[in-house]
Every structure is written in structure tokens, then in C-alpha cells.
């Protein structure tokens, strides 16, 4: 479909929250290999709060959905992930303006703005073994996509994120605890990138169910 209304956008984000909450043990396992082991706890905690803030509420604009999600995550999670994943939703709020509907164009513009704000804040580039390694290819896929079908575009973005996650296995970390591991972090995928992949896949799957 070409567009979804803000209320469906809310349900799409709730689907992403559910997927992160369900994958808490998986994210913990991945993060324990080379990080603090608290990524799954932090993410699922933030997503639980975001889900509570979204559920049963009516939203007039797409921006409201993303702002509520991002602010709730930012002001409940703490840690680096609170700022980074909060910004994934907050960074694009301005570019949605007052649009009541989500479409391919405003979504890809918003995610580009979110990526820019994450990189300005966290200083990570592609290749540093962070969530940017999944988000950047996902955003690029959205921009490159010549479809006007949201479901198709999100599917492409999720595939690109998955490729990005796989690539983090061959990277030496420049941020977080894994930074000090040097080559010992090779072979392990980044937990933040994994979360990005889970979020995109869940949004794509939600859109399929609304067809």
C-alpha cells in the first residue's frame, strides 16, 4: 500500500516494540559476547515504556507517533542506547511536519534525518561496528527504492539492515566496551545493529498483515 494513517503507524511501531521485547534474551546473548550484556535489558525496557505510551491513544500525525516513541525511550532508558535509539525515532520528527499519513517519501526523508542526528550525536560512521552499520544501508535502501509501496520499501530496508548486521561480524569496534577488545570482537555481530534489524523487520511484517 502507498500510505498508512497515523493510527496504523502507531500499530506499526508497537509491532516493533513487541519484537524487541520478545528478542530480549537474544539481544542479551549477542551483547554479552562482546559488550556489557545490558543491551537487551535496556532496549526492551525502553520499548515496554514506549508501547505503554502509544497503546490505546489516538494520533493525528505521524510526527506525534514518532515523537512519543522517541521521547519515551530517551527519558526512560539512559545509557548510550537511550540517546541513540531515542534519536532513531526523534531525529525525523521535524521532517514529517504535520503529515497525517506515512508514505515512502516522508518515511525515507525522516529516517535520513534520524541517521544524521544519530551520527552527529554518537560520531559513529559505517564500519565502526555500531547500529549505524544496519541503519545506514536501511536508509539508503529506502532512498534508492523506486517503489511507492510502503510494504515493498520496508521489506527492502529490512533486507539491507540484515546485510549490514552480517557485515558487523567482520568489523573491529570503535565504540562501546567492544572497542577495547580489538580483533577479539571479530566474528561477533553488533547488538545495536541487531536491534535496528529487528525493528525494520517487524515494521515490514506489520505492513504485510495490513494488505
Partner 1 sequence: MRKILNEKGDIIENSTKGFLEAYSRIYESVPDAAGCFLYRNRRKDKVVLVVGGGSGHDPLFGGFVGKGLADACASGNIFASPNPQIIVETAKAADAGKGVLFLYGNYAGDNMNFDMAEELLDLEGIKTAHIRVWDDCASAPKDRIEDRRGIAGDIYMIKIAGAACDAGLSLEEVVKVMEHAGENISSIGLAASSCTLPGQDKPIFELGENEIEYGMGVHGEPGIERTVMQPAEKLVDRMYAELKKEMDLKQGEELAVLVNSLGSTTLLELNTVYGDLYDHLKEDGLTVHDTEIQRWVTSQEMGGFSITLLRLDAELKKYYDAPCCSPYYAKEQIQ
Out of 180, 187, 209, 210, point to the residue binding partner 1 (CB under 8 A).
180
Q: Please give the Cα distance from 62 to 9 (Å, whole number).
A: 7
CB burial class (10 A; 0-12, 13-18, 19+) of residue 182? exposed
In the bound complex, what is the minimum distance in angstroms from residue 44's beta carbon to partner 1?
A: 13
Does position 204 bind partner 1 by CB under 8 A?
no
Out of 74, 88, 102, 158, point to the residue binding partner 1 (CB under 8 A).
74
Q: x/- contact string, 138-177, with partner 1 (CB under 8 A)?
A: -------------------------------------xxx
Does position 115 bind partner 1 by CB under 8 A?
no
Does position 83 bind partner 1 by CB under 8 A?
yes
24 versus 201: smaller Cβ distance to partner 1: 24
The answer to whether 157 and 141 are in contact (CB under 8 A) is yes
Q: Please give the Cα distance from 136 to 171 (Å, whole number).
A: 15
Q: Please give the Cα distance from 171 to 5 (Å, whole number).
A: 39
In the bound complex, what is the minimum distance in angstroms from residue 32's beta carbon to partner 1?
A: 7
Which residues fall within 8 angstroms of residue 186, CB to CB, at 6 or more apart?
Answer: 169, 170, 171, 172
Stretch that binds partner 1, among 4-12, 61-69, 82-90, 149-157 (CB under 8 A): 82-90
41 versus 53: smaller Cβ distance to partner 1: 41
Does position 81 bind partner 1 by CB under 8 A?
yes
Which three-class secondary structure state does DSSP give residue 146?
A: coil
The answer to whether 64 and 99 are in contact (CB under 8 A) is no
Grid coordinates belonging to 39: 543491551
In the bound complex, what is the minimum distance in angstroms from residue 81's beta carbon to partner 1?
A: 8
Out of 7, 18, 38, 149, point to the residue binding partner 1 (CB under 8 A).
38
Q: State the first-to-last Cα distance of the chain, in angstroms, to the nearest integer.
A: 7
Grid coordinates belonging to 147: 517503489
**What residues make contact with partner 1 under the rule CB under 8 A?**
32, 36-38, 41-42, 74-84, 121-122, 175-177, 179-181, 184
Amino acid at each position: 500500500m502507498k500510505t498508512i494513517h497515523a493510527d496504523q503507524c502507531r500499530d506499526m511501531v508497537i509491532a516493533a516494540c513487541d519484537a524487541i521485547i520478545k528478542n530480549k534474551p537474544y539481544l542479551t546473548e549477542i551483547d554479552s559476547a562482546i559488550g556489557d550484556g545490558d543491551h537487551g535489558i535496556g532496549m526492551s525496557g525502553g520499548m515496554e515504556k514506549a508501547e505503554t505510551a502509544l497503546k490505546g491513544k489516538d494520533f493525528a500525525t505521524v510526527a506525534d507517533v514518532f515523537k512519543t516513541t522517541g521521547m519515551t525511550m530517551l527519558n526512560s532508558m539512559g545509557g548510550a542506547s537511550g540517546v541513540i535509539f531515542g534519536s532513531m525515532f526523534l531525529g525525523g520528527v521535524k521532517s514529517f511536519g504535520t503529515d497525517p499519513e506515512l508514505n515512502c517519501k516522508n518515511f525515507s526523508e525522516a529516517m535520513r534525518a534520524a541517521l544524521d542526528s544519530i551520527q552527529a550525536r554518537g560520531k559513529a560512521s559505517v564500519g565502526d561496528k555500531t547500529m549505524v552499520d544496519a541503519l545506514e544501508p536501511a536508509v539508503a535502501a529506502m532512498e534508492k527504492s523506486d517503489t511507492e509501496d510502503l510494504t515493498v520499501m520496508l521489506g527492502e530496508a529490512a533486507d539491507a539492515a540484515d546485510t549490514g548486521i552480517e557485515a558487523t561480524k567482520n568489523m573491529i569496534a570503535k565504540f562501546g566496551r567492544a572497542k577495547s577488545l580489538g580483533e577479539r570482537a571479530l566474528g561477533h555481530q553488533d547488538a545495536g545493529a541487531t536491534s535496528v534489524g529487528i525493528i525494520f523487520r517487524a515494521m515490514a511484517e506489520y505492513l504485510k498483515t495490513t494488505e
